[in-house]
Structure 1
Amino acid sequence: MADTTYTVERTRTINAPAATVYAQIADLHAWRTWSPWENLDENLKREYSGPRMGAGARYAWSGNRKAGEGEMVITDAVEPTSITMSLAFTKPMKSTNELQFTIGEHGATSTVTWTMTGQQTLLTRATALFGGMNKILGKQFTQGLDRLAAVVETD
């Protein structure tokens, strides 16, 4: 029997305290500095609502075919250890996913794990021909975590 969900997960150690890392993830406005998708469309339209950070914060975007259209909403936030989000794409294809960031502090460093879980669709099953969602999105998660580290390690 085939899995009904897929999971993509990447972890990185960052030379910054958990509170500093948490602030960059829980403030959706800060994603512009490190998200691997922010540079896909120079004319990307962004809309923020709700609190600036933490549970209830919302970020919606609309852009070209590469950027697509959708929204993220922080559904749960426990400072400085975890952030859970609902991620919904409306274009170029509809999908709903859950994002989870867990942050563990180890002295002056933090371990950040970025996980996305979504429902298998015909399209996600077709990505198996190219290595699957884990391989395709995993590269972007790694890039995002590297960029997040570059932002917080220079503060």
Structure 2
Amino acid sequence: MKTILKIIGALIVLIILYAVFAMLVFSKDYHFEKSIVINAPKEKVWQYTGSLKGFNTWNPFAKADKNIVVTYSGTSGEVGDSYNWRGNKDVGEGIQTVTAVVPNEKLTSKLHFIKPFEGNATANFIITPEGNGTKVTWTMDNELNAMMKIMKPMMDGQMGKMFDQGLGDLKKNAEQ
């Protein structure tokens, strides 16, 4: 019994040490990006990346809730284009608003997360020629609070999985 308590105690100490380490060492600035090359002209790829309605045809985050409620406002594909979403505990609630557009090249948007955690982020879709195709780079930047710093390694894994799924679906849609 003492051995089990020692093991549990050691695990608790390791968890606390990791948490303190993460809060002190990990940067508050978080950047994540993934790219994919799509065998389609940039104008066709832009149909799926140049507006929030286009994005939501392949948005992997929204697919986690089949009953998600989405409300659009503004002019699609222009600064001010936005959508509110409200979903289950996996999807949460928030608003995404386009803040800058360079047609067929770049769309920048601000995300405001309401649930399950309050926060803000900036996302970009950057479109560049790549051989006979089009390279799409999807980025996300935000500031991590202390608790998010602790979860950073798990965030990297989850973001990688979601970005891969989304970019894969984007590729399928744009190459049809």
Q: TM-score, normalised by structure 2?
A: 0.81
Distance 1:42 1:135 in 2: 23
**Relative contact order higher in (CA < 8 Å, ≥ 6 apart):** 1
Identity score, percent? 32
**Given the alignment, which residue of 157, 161, 169 partners 1:135?**
157
The answer to whether the Cα contact below 8 Å between 1:7 and 1:134 also exists between their aligned partners in 2 is no
Aligned residue among 121, 126, 131 for 2:145: 121
Structure (1/2) with the larger helix percentage: 2
Give deviations 1:76-102, integer Å, cap 9, x for gaps. 010111110001100000010000111
Structure 2: how far apart are the matches of 1:77 and 1:145? Answer: 20
Aligned residues: 152
TM-score w.r.t. length of structure 1: 0.91
**Unmatched segments (≥5 aa) in structure 2:** 1-24
Q: Work out whether residues 9 and 134 of structure 1, in 8 Å CA contact, stay in contact via their aligned partners in 2.
A: no
Partners of 2:158 and 2:77 in 1: CA distance: 29
Larger radius of gyration: 2
AA aligned to 1:77 is V
The residue that corresponds to 1:41 in the other structure is 65
Runs of 4+ that moved beyond 4 A = none
AA aligned to 2:97 is V
Instruction: Look up the equivalent residue of 2:32 and give its one-letter code.
Output: V
1:23 to 40, 47, 60: 47
Q: Secondary structure at the match of 2:56?
A: helix
In the alignment, structure 1 segments of 5+ residues that lack a partner are none
Aligned-partner Cα distance in 1 for 2:131–2:48: 19
